[in-house]
């Protein structure tokens, strides 16, 4: 009997380290154990990632957060970015930035960049409901590298973002109580590190399906202490996204995992978090979560506690706990 158990264990370990044959099929994946996982590239095509591949230290040093670009959008330039450069105040004075407006910051994920559709969807949603400054962070220099290298560079990218925001507010005005950081996948951990760098001063941080692989026990992941209020929306838990609660309030639409309604693959479910958030900004009370007693209840959707709205752009939003809800399969969900 003992031999059989040991044999089964070796078979399981071997299976978790086998190279999956079908592109995009993550049915083999076991969080925290599997070596390989399919992830979407910038065009949504599956890329096989080896989570044991060594970090490229040379690239990590040359393509760090110092390469971040900061693209400003306002109602005066809703689709044409104005580039603001740290320690170059003239780039602020020549822009449409106003310190009296609320500040929204959006950070993309792996193999994405400032032109990735999620950025324009969330930017246009913010500008539709509020006269604000929106800064899209383009960190493609590192995000375009192998996943392990990009993930290893997340803390540095976040620290540079935190330094930039501190410089921006000190130079051109602003109020930390009006700052809302939004990050998707690896970008969720970037904004967590940015908040930590600023002394946890941002009024609100929203993590959109924070990246899961390599982040389960990572001390640099998004945490509730990174801002005054931290919220996470989980849509592909146990696969591309982390399932563990990380914020003051954690939302698990449709169980928080793949497949989300209307999705056939993990990459669709992962990206659904950005769609749900953009919709929630335009329709502030559309997604109402019910509090769950346990994480298992959240996964099963057995939640009947108090209500808390998921997402939206309310800067002074507060709440705590785990929340479940159901959404539709197509916009506005």
Give burial (CB, 10 Å; 0-12/13-18/19+) of 170: exposed
Nearest CA-CA partner of 198 in 162, 158, 156:
162
5 pLDDT above the threshold of 60: no
Please identify which of the residues 108, 180, 185, 248 carries the catalytic annotation: 185
CATH of the domain at 265: 3.40.50.1820
Residue 35 lies in a domain: no
Q: Name the domain count of the chain.
A: 1
8 Å CB contact between 83 and 77: no
Range of the domain at 197: 67-325
Residue 50 φ then ψ, to 5°: -95, 110
Q: Judge whether 217 lies within some domain.
A: yes
Of 240, 231, 228, give the one whose Cα is nearest residue 109.
240
Q: State the catalytic residue, choosing from 209, 250, 275, 297.
A: 209
Query: Does 17 map to a domain?
Result: no
CB atoms within 10 A of CB 66: 12
pLDDT of residue 12 exceeding 70: no
Is 18 part of any domain? no
What's the pLDDT score for residue 15?
Answer: 56
In 3D space, the residue among 194, 204, 203 whose CA is nearest the CA of residue 163 turns out to be: 194
* Four-CA torsion 302, 304, 309, 315, nearest 10 degrees: -100
Is 26 part of a structural domain of the chain?
no
Confidence of residue 17 (pLDDT cuts 50, 70, 90): confident
CA 143 to chain centre: 13
pLDDT tens digits, 274-296 = 999 999 999 999 999 999 999 99
The answer to whether residue 95 scores a pLDDT higher than 50 is yes
For residue 39, is it within any domain? no
Is residue 202 one of the residues assigned to a domain?
yes
Closest alpha carbon to 325 in 313, 247, 299: 299
User: pTM value?
Assistant: 0.94
Annotated active-site residue 209? The verdict is yes
Residue 256 located in a structural domain: yes
Tens digit of pLDDT for each residue in 63-91? 999 999 999 999 999 999 999 999 999 99
How would DSSP label each residue in 126-139? Answer: HHHH---EEEEEE-
Q: Which two tokens stand for residue 319?
A: 């709440």
Stronger pLDDT, 191 or 9, i.e. the higher one: 191
DSSP E strand stretches across 35-145: 36-40, 46-50, 69-74, 77-84, 103-107, 133-138
- Concatenate the DSSP letters of all residues of 209-277 into one string: S-B-TTTTT-TTS--GGGSSSEEEE-SSBTTTB--S--SSEEEEEGGGSSPPTT--SHHHHHHHHHHHH
Confidence grade of residue 322 (pLDDT, cut at 50, 70, 90): very high
Reported as type and span, the H/E element at residue 169 is: helix 147-172
Q: Check if 185 is active-site.
A: yes
Q: Catalytic pick from 160, 189, 270, 280? A: 270
- Which residues, 6 or more positions from 153, have their beta carbon under 8 angstroms from its beta carbon? 60, 63, 64, 65, 142, 145
């Amino acid at each position: 009997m003992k031999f059989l158990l040991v044999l089964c264990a070796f078979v399981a370990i071997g299976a978790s380290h086998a190279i999956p044959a079908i592109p995009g099929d993550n049915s083999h994946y076991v969080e925290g154990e599997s070596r390989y996982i399919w992830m979407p590239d910038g065009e949504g095509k599956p890329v096989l990632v080896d989570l044991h591949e060594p970090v490229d230290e040379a690239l990590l040093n040359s393509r760090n957060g110092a390469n971040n670009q900061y693209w400003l959008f306002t109602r005066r330039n809703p689709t044409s970015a104005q580039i603001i450069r740290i320690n170059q105040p003239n780039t602020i004075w020549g822009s449409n930035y106003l310190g009296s407006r609320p500040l929204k910051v959006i950070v993309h994920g792996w193999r994405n960049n400032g032109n990735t559709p999620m950025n324009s969807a969330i930017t246009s949603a913010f500008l539709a409901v509020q006269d604000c400054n929106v800064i899209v962070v383009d960190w493609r220099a590192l995000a375009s590298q192998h996943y392990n290298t990009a993930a290893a560079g997340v803390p540095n990218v976040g620290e540079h973002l935190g330094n930039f925001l501190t410089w921006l507010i000190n130079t051109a005005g602003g109020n930390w109580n009006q700052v809302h950081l939004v990050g998707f996948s690896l970008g969720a951990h970037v904004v967590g590190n940015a908040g930590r760098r600023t002394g946890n001063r941002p009024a609100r941080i929203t993590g959109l399906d924070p990246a899961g692989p390599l982040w389960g026990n990572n001390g640099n992941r998004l945490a509730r202490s990174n801002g005054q209020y931290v919220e996470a929306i989980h849509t592909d838990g146990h696969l591309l996204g982390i399932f563990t609660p990380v914020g003051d309030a954690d939302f698990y639409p449709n169980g928080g995992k793949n497949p989300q309604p209307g999705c056939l693959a993990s990459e669709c479910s992962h990206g659904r978090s950005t769609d749900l958030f953009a919709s929630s900004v335009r329709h502030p009370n559309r997604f109402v979560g019910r509090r769950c007693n346990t994480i298992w209840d959240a996964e099963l959707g057995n939640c009947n506690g108090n209500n808390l709205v998921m997402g939206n752009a309310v800067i002074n939003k507060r709440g705590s706990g785990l929340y479940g809800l159901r959404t539709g399969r197509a916009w506005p969900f």
